[in-house]
Amino acid sequence: MKKSEFIACERCGGELKVFEEASTQGLKCTNCGWSVVTTHIPDIKVDETKYEVCCSGDYKNVVHIRAVSEVLGCNFLTARKTLEHGRSLVFVGQAEEVLRVRNILVSVGLVCTISPDFNWG
């Protein structure tokens, strides 16, 4: 479709624009607001696999300790002891939560592994 071409609104003939918000996608008229929508659930939200996230890092690094503390929901000392043990299991959950956890850990330089193979992000 060329840029000058557009899909016309069935109600007023105005231009329909594509939109996506949360789990909804569709077309909305820029003139009168008429819309047609459908549900769009990203595959990551329906992945029911339980993933395990393990990480290792420097138990003397305050940033590493705080990230592990956030992920585990534990205090600073417990997080530091977890890192002292080397590679440790820090989270078990579904894909969307695992992606959030992985991003927290990787953003501060922690090395993490996810099993089974994680294909999201």
pLDDT tens track for 45-87: 999 999 999 999 999 999 999 999 999 999 999 999 999 999 9
pTM over 0.85: no
For residue 5, name the pLDDT band (cuts at 50, 70, 90).
confident
Helix axes 62-72, 95-107, angle to 10 degrees: 170
Residues 74 and 99 in one domain: yes
Q: Is there a domain that residue 107 lies in?
A: yes
Residues 50 and 94 in one domain: yes
Q: Is there a domain that residue 68 lies in?
A: yes
Q: What is the pLDDT of residue 99?
A: 98
Counting every residue, how long is the chain? 121
86-109 confidence digits (pLDDT tens): 999 999 999 999 999 999 999 999
Residue type, 66: R
Q: Using alpha carbons, select from 63, 52, 49, 53 the residue that is nearest to residue 112.
A: 53
Which H or E run contains 95?
A: helix 95-107
DSSP class of residue 21?
Answer: E
Residues 36 and 88 in one domain: no
State the CATH number of the domain containing residue 65. 3.30.1390.10
Residues 99 and 68 in one domain: yes
The owner of tokens 């990551």 is 44
Residues 56 and 71 in one domain: yes
Q: What is the pLDDT of residue 2?
A: 52
Residues 30 and 72 in one domain: no
Q: What is the pLDDT of residue 121?
A: 84
Peptide bond into 42 cis (omega under 30): no
Q: What is the pLDDT of residue 40?
A: 85
Residues 54 and 111 in one domain: yes
Distance CA 115, CA 5 (A): 47
Q: Is there a domain that residue 120 lies in?
A: no
Residue 6 pLDDT greater than 80, yes or no: no
Please count the CA atoms within 13 angstroms of the CA of 48 that sit on its side-chain side: 0
Structure token digits, residue 48: 């029911």
Residue type, 1: M
Q: What is the pLDDT of residue 1?
A: 45
Residues 31 and 81 in one domain: no
> 8 is in which domain, residue-wise?
1-40
Q: Is there a domain that residue 26 lies in?
A: yes
For the chain, the domain total comes to 2
Q: What is the pLDDT of residue 22?
A: 84
Residues 52 and 18 in one domain: no
DSSP class of residue 22?
Answer: T
